[in-house]
Amino acid sequence: MSTESAKARKRAAAPRRPTQRPKQNPVTTMKFATLLTTVIFALGTLSSLPSSSQAASAAEIDRDAKATLNALYASNPTAQLVGKKAKAILVFPPL
């Protein structure tokens, strides 16, 4: 038996040590976790916003506001008198 082959068999039979990962700084790990959480939250928020196809156009908003105001004036004549004196009228969209 040669000494080289005996050494090779001894190395093959020896249990392998698990490779150890270098320890990470806890502050670095916390910063990464915070960044990842922020990115996920931002993407979730952006994906829940209405797309432009769901938003009403300016013409549709004006049409709905005028229809609502006309309905108010038809149901309450005093509102029309007050509306003529007002500098501005705020009309909320239907929810």
Domain count for the chain, please give it. Answer: 1
- C-alpha distance across the termini of the chain, in Å: 90
Residue 74's pLDDT is: 92
The answer to the question of residue 45 being in a domain is no
Structural domain including 93 reads 60-95
- pTM, whole model, 2 decimals? 0.41
Residue 39's pLDDT is: 83
Give the separation between CA 93 and CA 67, rounded to whole angstroms. Answer: 11
The answer to the question of residue 85 being in a domain is yes
The answer to the question of residue 80 being in a domain is yes
Instruction: Tell me the two tokens of residue 74.
Output: 């038809």
Could you count the other beta carbons within 10 Å of the beta carbon of residue 68?
Answer: 14
The answer to the question of residue 86 being in a domain is yes
- Asked whether residue 23 carries a pLDDT value surpassing 60, the answer given is yes
